[in-house]
Every structure is written in C-alpha cells, then in structure tokens.
Amino acid sequence: MTGQTLIHLQDVSKRFVKGRDTITIFDHLGLTIPAGDFVAVMGPSGSGKTTLLNLLGGIDQPTGGSITFDGGRVDTLTEGQLARWRAHNVGFIFQFYNLMPTLTAARNVELPLLLTSFGRAERKRRVEAALSLVGLAERANHYPREMSGGQQQRVAIARALISDPKLLLCDEPTGDLDRTTADEILSMLRLLNQEMGKTIVMVTHDPEAAKYARRTLHLDKGRFTERELVA
Amino acid sequence: MRVFNEIAVVTTICIKSIPQRFWASLSTVVAVGLVVTVLLAFLAMAAGFQQTLRGTGTKDMAILMRAGSQAELNSGVTRDQARLIEEAPGVMKDADGKPLVSPELYVIVDGVKKTAVPADGNLKKAPRSNLTLRGLGPVGIAVRPGLKIVEGRAFNPGTNELMVGRALQKDFAGLNVGDTVKLGNSDWLVVGAFELGGSVFESELWADTPEVQDLFHRQNVFQSIRARLTGPDALKALSDYATNDPQLKLDVTTEAEYYAQQASRTSDLIQKLGWPLAIAMAFGALAGALNTMYSSVAARAQEIATLRCIGFSGTSSFIGTLLESLVLALVGGIVGTLITWVAVDGLTGSTLAGSTFSQVVFTFHLTPAVALQGIIMALIVGLVGGVFPAWRAARVPIAEAYGSP
C-alpha cells in the first residue's frame, strides 16, 4: 500500500532557548515516510515525539534543515500559508480529543469545511457521511459532554477526515481510553490506512497501540534508535 | 466568505463559552455598567440643565443689560434707560399702542430645599439655598405669552404677594399657595403657582416691582429690560439704537441666546466633572475587563490552538476574542444605561447656575445622544480590554498552547 515519498525530513534540527540554556531536541534528523504508511513513534518522555509531530504538522518550524511534503517545502512557508496548508493536507487527532465543548458533534466535524468553498448543503452531506463512517450518525446533535471518551475520539477522527487530508497525525490517540475502546479506535485508524490510503503518524507510549501500525520508530534523545516493521 | 465563516465560528465559540466564566464575566459587566451609570448620570444632569435653560428664551424677546455684564445679577439699568427703550425701534406694541417693554429686578433671596428640611420641620435651622426673586409688573407677565397660572392667582400690584414657579414649588419647602415666606424683613404671601414651558422661570419667585424695589432699596434701578420684538430684523434695529445712544450703553441680545450661553457654562462644568470621574472609573473597569479576557483566552488556549491547528487563521482568533470582550462591555453599557434610565431619568434636581448664583431646578434627561455616549464609553473599555488578550490569542505559538517546550 505504501508508495511515493510523502514526507521527507533532511538534516532537521530543533533547538529551544530556555533562559541561558539552549536545549537541542533534534540535530540533523532524517526521516522519510512514504504515502500510505502507518508509523508509530515511541520513546521516553522528552525524547522529542511531540516536537516531531508538531514539525510534521507545520505547527512548529525547524531551526535548521528542510521538511518536504508531497514534493513541496513546508519549512519555508509563512504562518498564513502554513494554516492553509494544514487545512488541506493534515488531520489532527489528540489524546484529549480537543473538541469544542460548546459545539455539537456535527458542528465540530464541520469546522475544517468552513475553511473551504463548500456550500451549506454540501457541508451537511459530508458531515453526515463522516459521522456515519465513524458510527456516530445518530449522535450528530449531541454535545461532547454528552458522549463517552471513545465517542468523542471518533468525532475527532471524523473531524480529522472531513477535508480528506493525505496525512493524519495522532498524538496519543488512545491515551485517555480503556483497552477495548482503544482497540476500536486503533482498528478504525488501521482501516483508514488500509482502505482509504491515509498516511498516519501516531505518537504513543502503548506498545499494544504500536502493533496496529505498519512500522514503529523508536525515538531517544532526538535520534531514531530502531526501526521495526510490523506489517 | 471563508474569513467570515472563520470569524463567525470563533466568535460563536467565544460567546457561547462566556457562561463557563460566569462570575468573571459578570464582574466585567458590572464594572462597565457602573462606569456608564456614573457617566450618564452626569451627562443626563448636564443635558437636563441645558434643556431647561435653552428652553427658556425665545428669539423674539430681547434682553437688555448694562454693557459688559455677563448676567442679570451683575447688570444695572436705570428707569430713564427703560423709558428710552420704550421708544426704541423694533419694539412691539400692544393693542392699545403701549410698548411691550418690561424692566425687571433680579435679586437673590434664600429658601430651603425639601431634602434639607430637618426632622423637626423647623425651617429656621435648615441650610439655605439661593433663589431668584424677580420683580416685574403687569407688562412682564404680558410679554411672556406661555405663562399659565396653575394654582391660585397672579399677585396684586402694590402688595407683598408672590407667585412661585412650579418647579421651585416642588423642590423647595414652604412655598405652597397660602404659605407666608419671610424675605428680608418682610413677610410675603404665596398667592399663586405658575408654569412657563418648563423654563428656568419656573425656578423663580415673582413679585410686584415697586414692592421688591422697596424691600431691597433699589429705587429707580432694574437689572434688565425685556422687550418683545416686532420681527427677525428688529434685534439689529434695537441693538443699533441701544449702541448709538450715549445714554444707553446697553448690551442687547435675544433671550434665547442669553440662556443658551448661561446653559453652556454650567453644563460644561458638569461635564468637566463627569467625564474625568467616569474615565478614572473606566480604568478600574478596564483592569477587570483585561483580567476577564486574559483568563478567557487562557481557559480557551487549547480550543484556540486546535482551531489554528485545523487551519483557522490568527486573525479569526483575534477578532473572535475581541468581539467577546465587546459583547461583555456592550451588555455592561446597556445595563448601565437602563439603570440610569430607571433611577435618574426624569428625576428633579437643582443646582447653582453659574453666573446667576441662584438655584435652577431641572429634570435629569437621558437623551438618545447622551445614552449613545455611554455605550461608546463601554465599547472603548471593551475594545481596550480585549485587544491585548486577543492579540495573545492570535499570536501565541500553537505548540506553546499545547504545552510543548
């Protein structure tokens, strides 16, 4: 299922200045992710997993090196260009779902479509389809507080999928869920990868979750230490 | 279209989340409401005072005073000068050919506000306020066609009888028809109450000219002359006449112009007191608004970051947050306006009118223009209180909002 290179990190460095100290997270990091891949990123706290996800998603910029997405440079885009790039190419799934508590499930899922030129009817149709895909069509008018954690995460997946992005970035997507619900969510992600060809990068601490990925990258002190092909 | 969609969503999220910060939001609304209430109370007072004085004069009535005198109180006009004005051009005559010219005395007496009456009702112990006693004759009443005697009758010439303005009667003690009032060393009987279109004259006591002259030892001297004009051009003719005659040396203006000047002096003073006080209070409200909005942005940091993650622009976060602040301030402004309207509008008050040194009774008047100033004040507090937190909402790095290093 994997194909051409979707993401390529070359000599990526990331440093933070904290008081008088400069903290280096990555120093000349390289990574290639083909389209259709499903990568789990594991590693101890502070190893740079979330920073890597932020760089891949264009919500943080590298201090050095280059990041290429689908053949185009991402690290040189302005903030406004990055916002538009994210809207078209990346879906985010967070540990704590990050749904808007004052909006219904349908309105939450609709959010990315408000950045497109689709009319109201087309948006409604797509929202219904996305909610059906995650098995929550009947909960469209429910607020997040009226749903379980697993249901909220499914709404978040529907929101991430609605604008049909090539890349899904998942930050501990099952970290707040029990085992059964976590397996449901992970099965759904695998389905999205296998059936819809979505490229997925998932940060996780859970080895069971990592088993759903095609391969696992271990990150330690800013370097990949092991690459393991799972499927 | 896309940008409007973005702004609409962020604004909806911001405003819908206000109940989550109910008490902080309420404190902002209350603080802004108080600022607006104080400001509008002063401005309604100024507007009411101005309306009373401006409503007093008419354009077809000339008022003549000694050259250089700013107000009737500092003016002095002799009986001879009054006679010369009777022969002046531009002065209207009645059906019998008698000129409508009214030489009038203007003296300060004292009275007691109803609110200052002691518990035992003894007016002698009460603090006194200055009142205007106007001495005028039958022509003085004839030159004021809107005059309506609403109780009792007019004073009889040659007697110690008084007519009392309706506004004064409502606000001051011991001025009911039938009451005896001690002015100077004499006792005066209140025989009537009058209305005159809500004008400043309703804050005066009126009595017969010779009696007032006797009481205050001002034989042959008046403070001003009222002369009814024949038409729009008559003022110039009268003014030229009064200026060119060396015996006269009088300033001539219309009554409307005279009272407009008097009004602007005092209402300016009221506004000069009201605005600084309101602005000082506005800084307090501003601190409250800033605090609320910063905590609002902090509480919604993840929501804002998520929206920006999805692709929403920083601009929409900025405008949405700013609109939330403006909505809170607007609610405060409306609450303040309503409180002023219920508590103050229509209330009667009296104050010392600048150059006349006497009390003018007026009604607080919350005009639409005054209310608008209160709303604008509230929105300024909302704007300044929202702009910095909104800037933070738009500019804080997304990764930082998620707690990344």
Kindly state whether residue A32 falls inside one of the protein's structural domains.
yes
Of A86, A101, A117, the CB nearest to B311: A86
Cα dist. A24→A16, A42, A221, B201, B358 in Å? 6, 19, 9, 84, 80
Of B313, B402, B404, the CB nearest to A80: B313
Mean pLDDT score, B94-106: 89
Task: State yes or no: pLDDT of B314 exceeds 90.
Answer: no
Position B8 scores a pLDDT of: 86
CA-based nearest residue in chain A for residue B308: A83
Task: State yes or no: pLDDT of A145 exceeds 90.
Answer: yes
Q: How far is A221 from chain B (nearest CA, A)?
A: 15
Q: How far is B17 from chain A (nearest CA, A)?
A: 7
Q: How far is A82 from chain B (nearest CA, A)?
A: 8
CB A144 within 8 A of CB A152: yes
B405, A103: Cβ pair inside 8 Å? Answer: no
Comparing B92 with B351, which gets the higher pLDDT?
B92
Each residue's pLDDT tens digit, B265-276 = 777 777 787 778
B17, A102: Cβ pair inside 8 Å? Answer: yes
B1, A117: Cβ pair inside 8 Å? Answer: yes
Kindly state whether residue A215 falls inside one of the protein's structural domains.
yes
Q: Do B7 and B98 have their domain in common? A: no
Structure token digits, residue B376: 């604008």
Task: State yes or no: pLDDT of A102 exceeds 90.
Answer: no
Q: Do B141 and B226 have their domain in common? A: yes
| Last-in-domain residue among B185, B219, B248 | B248
Q: Do B32 and B105 have their domain in common? A: no
Comparing A175 with B17, which gets the higher pLDDT?
A175
CB contacts of B2 in chain A (<8 Å) are 114-117
Among the listed residues A190, A194, A210, the one whose alpha carbon sits nearest the alpha carbon of residue A202: A210
Kindly state whether residue B360 falls inside one of the protein's structural domains.
yes
Position B184 scores a pLDDT of: 76
Cα dist. B57→A73, B94, B251, B265, B359 in Å? 78, 20, 16, 16, 18
Confidence category of residue A202, pLDDT binned at 50, 70, 90: very high
CB contacts of A16 in chain B (<8 Å) are 405
Question: Would strands A64-69 and A5-18 be described as parallel, antiparallel, or unpaired?
Answer: antiparallel
A115, B5: Cβ pair inside 8 Å? Answer: yes
Position B85 scores a pLDDT of: 87
Structure token digits, residue A160: 């991430």
Each residue's pLDDT tens digit, A57-68 = 998 999 999 999
Kindly state whether residue B61 falls inside one of the protein's structural domains.
no
Position B358 scores a pLDDT of: 62
CA-based nearest residue in chain B for residue A163: B310
Q: How far is B20 from chain A (nearest CA, A)?
A: 10
Q: Do B43 and B75 have their domain in common? A: no
> How many CB pairs below 8 A link A and B?
78
CB B177 within 8 A of CB B151: yes
Task: State yes or no: pLDDT of B353 exceeds 60.
Answer: yes
Q: Which residue has the tokens 């004499």?
A: B186
CB contacts of A116 in chain B (<8 Å) are 2
Q: How far is A231 from chain B (nearest CA, A)?
A: 30
φ, ψ at B260 (rounded to 5°): -65, -40
Task: State yes or no: pLDDT of A231 exceeds 70.
Answer: no
The SS3 of residue A116 is coil
Kindly state whether residue B183 falls inside one of the protein's structural domains.
yes
CB B388 within 8 A of CB B297: no
Kindly state whether residue B254 falls inside one of the protein's structural domains.
no
Q: What is the CA angle A67-B316-B402, rounded to 5?
A: 50
**Residue range(s) defining the domain that contains residue A59:** 5-101+169-229
Q: How far is B320 from chain A (nearest CA, A)?
A: 14
Kindly state whether residue B359 falls inside one of the protein's structural domains.
yes
Q: Do B210 and B340 have their domain in common? A: no
Mutation choice for B interface testing from A17, A22, A90, A102 by most B CBs within 10 A: A102
The CA R_g of chain B, rounded to the nearest whole Å, is 30
Kindly state whether residue B358 falls inside one of the protein's structural domains.
yes
Position B392 scores a pLDDT of: 85
The SS3 of residue B112 is coil
What does the alpha-carbon distance between residue B160 and residue B214 come to, in Å, rounded to a whole number?
11
Position B405 scores a pLDDT of: 53
At a CB cut-off of 8 Å and minimum separation 6, what does B326 contact? B379, B382, B383, B386
Mean predicted lDDT score pLDDT of chain A: 91
Highest mean pLDDT among B66-70, B170-174, B197-201, B273-277: B170-174
Q: What is the CATH number of the domain that holds A89?
A: 3.40.50.300
Cα dist. A27→A11, A218, B379, B404 in Å? 7, 16, 50, 18
Q: Do B326 and B202 have their domain in common? A: no
Comparing B153 with B262, which gets the higher pLDDT?
B153
B311, A50: Cβ pair inside 8 Å? Answer: no
Each residue's pLDDT tens digit, B231-246 = 878 888 888 888 888 7
Position B403 scores a pLDDT of: 63
The SS3 of residue B250 is strand
- Chain B residue set in contact with A, beta carbons under 8 Å: 1-2, 5-6, 9, 12-13, 16-17, 20, 302-303, 306-314, 397-399, 402, 404-405
Mean predicted lDDT score pLDDT of chain B: 84
Position B238 scores a pLDDT of: 87
CB contacts of B311 in chain A (<8 Å) are 83-84, 86-88, 112, 115
CA-based nearest residue in chain A for residue B18: A102
Q: Which residues are registered as beta bridge partners of B206?
A: B134, B163
Position B404 scores a pLDDT of: 58
B13, A84: Cβ pair inside 8 Å? Answer: no
Q: Which residue has the tokens 């903290």?
A: A23
Kindly state whether residue B40 falls inside one of the protein's structural domains.
yes
Among the listed residues A72, A70, A75, A43, the one whose alpha carbon sits nearest the alpha carbon of residue A59: A75
Q: Which residues are registered as beta bridge partners of B317?
A: none
Position B1 scores a pLDDT of: 63
Residue B216: how many CB atoms within 10 A of its CB?
17
A159, B404: Cβ pair inside 8 Å? Answer: no
Task: State yes or no: pLDDT of A227 exceeds 60.
Answer: no
With b meaning 16 or more CB within 10 Å and e meaning fewer, what string describes A146-163?
Answer: ebebbbbbbbbbbbbbbb
What does the alpha-carbon distance between residue B354 and residue B399 come to, in Å, rounded to a whole number?
63
φ, ψ at A199 (rounded to 5°): -85, 130
The number of residues in chain A equals 231
Task: State yes or no: pLDDT of B363 exceeds 90.
Answer: no
A114, B16: Cβ pair inside 8 Å? Answer: no
Position A215 scores a pLDDT of: 93
**Residue range(s) defining the domain that contains residue B340:** 2-54+262-401
Q: Do B216 and B274 have their domain in common? A: no
CB contacts of A92 in chain B (<8 Å) are 306, 309-310
Cα dist. B18→A91, B14, B196 in Å? 28, 7, 52
CB contacts of A51 in chain B (<8 Å) are 399, 404-405
Q: Do B15 and B133 have their domain in common? A: no
| Last-in-domain residue among B198, B214, B248 | B248
In chain B, the N- to C-terminal Cα span, in Å, equals 36
Element (H, E) at A110: helix A105-110
Kindly state whether residue A144 falls inside one of the protein's structural domains.
no
Of B12, B17, B313, the CB nearest to A83: B313
| Last-in-domain residue among B214, B248, B282 | B248
Report which residue type is found at A101.
P
A92, B309: Cβ pair inside 8 Å? Answer: yes
Highest mean pLDDT among A58-62, B21-25, B218-222, B283-287: A58-62
CB B332 within 8 A of CB B378: yes
Mean pLDDT score, A78-93: 91
Task: State yes or no: pLDDT of B84 exceeds 60.
Answer: yes
Q: What is the CA angle B106-B109-B112, rounded to 5?
A: 140
Q: Do B267 and B234 have their domain in common? A: no
**The total number of structural domains that make up chain B:** 2
Q: Do B387 and B363 have their domain in common? A: yes
Q: Do B80 and B7 have their domain in common? A: no
Task: State yes or no: pLDDT of B293 exceeds 90.
Answer: no
E strands in A54-96: 64-69, 72-73, 90-93
**The total number of structural domains that make up chain A:** 1
B310, A84: Cβ pair inside 8 Å? Answer: no
A23, B307: Cβ pair inside 8 Å? Answer: no
Each residue's pLDDT tens digit, A24-80 = 989 999 999 999 999 999 998 888 898 999 999 998 999 999 999 999 999 999 988
Q: Do B186 and B325 have their domain in common? A: no
